[in-house]
């Protein structure tokens, strides 16, 4: 619900852009758009009903306890499945972060509240990407977006100080590494210029597999081109995905 009297033209364009893009999307790990309603005083973006907490709320509630690798990998699969779907439709989210990923409790969930879920050693839930206000739809897969936006802690180091430089799908790749690293360390991303040191923190954890460590290291590697980051991301994820020794809900990656 958005009050018309409290928004300017820029915010209105953001709302209309979100409505235009979001109504085209249908994926199990993206919040489902239902309707857009306008009256004399307000705009209403009607979405499917989800729990009112995000991955950020969840990690804060765990008070510094990281997720076990099996659980984090399950979430990673769902996130990549949704981003893969967006990119296949020429859409860049441009603001992937913990606060834009909702937790959706399903029939398989082993808790019914945030407090109970956060105490579980192996919490089971689905995630759903939300907030498409900064998303952009490219007219062709080879096109580029010329406005770099998003949350600083989730931006690739090489893009933080650039203005209207071209960028593309790689803008959604770096934050996936940041999110996965946060799940495995319970270390929330901070607004600073030092986040390019983040991937090296996971090396200190003896309980993590070398595959997860390498995936984070390659995805968050500083000072590489956008195209090279995408290649490193795909290669390291495929190795991680194919080599994991336990059964994961692999159907999600093909949605």
Is residue 198 within 8 A of residue 120, CB to CB? The reply is no
* Residues facing residue 3 across a β-bridge: 42
Is residue 118 within 8 A of residue 109, CB to CB? The reply is no
Backbone angles phi, psi at 85, to 5 degrees: -65, -45
**39 is known as an active-site residue:** no
The C-alpha atoms of residue 205 and residue 212 are separated, in whole angstroms, by 11
Return the residue matching tokens 């803008």: 171
The C-alpha atoms of residue 190 and residue 178 are separated, in whole angstroms, by 11
Closest CA to 172 of 235, 99, 230: 230
Give strand ranges (E) for the chain: 2-3, 33-38, 42-47, 91-92, 101-104, 126-129, 136-137
> Would you give the DSSP letter of residue 5?
G
HSE, CB side, 13 Å, CA atoms: give it for residue 143: 14
Annotated catalytic residue within 95, 126, 131, 172: 95
Residues tagged active-site = 95
């Amino acid at each position: 619900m958005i009050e018309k009297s409290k928004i300017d033209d820029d915010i209105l364009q953001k709302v209309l852009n979100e409505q235009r893009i979001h109504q085209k999307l249908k994926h199990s790990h993206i919040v489902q758009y239902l309707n857009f309603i306008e009256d004399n005083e307000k705009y209403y973006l009607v979405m499917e009903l989800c729990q009112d907490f995000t991955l950020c709320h969840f990690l804060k509630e765990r008070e510094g306890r990281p997720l076990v690798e099996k659980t984090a990998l399950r979430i990673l699969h769902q996130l990549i499945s949704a981003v893969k779907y967006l990119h296949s439709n020429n859409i860049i989210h441009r603001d992937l972060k913990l606060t834009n990923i909702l937790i959706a409790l399903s029939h398989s969930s082993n808790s019914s509240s945030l407090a109970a879920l956060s105490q579980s050693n192996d919490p089971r839930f689905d995630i759903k990407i939300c907030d498409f206000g900064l998303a952009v739809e490219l007219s062709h897969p080879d096109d580029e977006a010329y406005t770099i936006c998003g949350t600083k802690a989730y931006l690739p180091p090489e893009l933080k100080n650039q203005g209207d430089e071209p960028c593309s799908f790689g803008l959604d790749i770096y934050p996936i590494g940041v999110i996965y690293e946060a799940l495995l360390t319970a270390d929330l991303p901070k607004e600073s210029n030092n986040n390019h040191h983040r991937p090296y923190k996971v090396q200190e954890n003896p309980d993590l597999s070398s595959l997860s460590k390498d995936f984070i290291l390659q995805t968050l590697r500083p000072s590489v081109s956008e195209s090279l980051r995408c290649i490193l991301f795909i290669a390291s994820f495929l190795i991680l995905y194919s080599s994991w020794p336990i059964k994961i809900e692999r159907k999600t990656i093909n949605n």
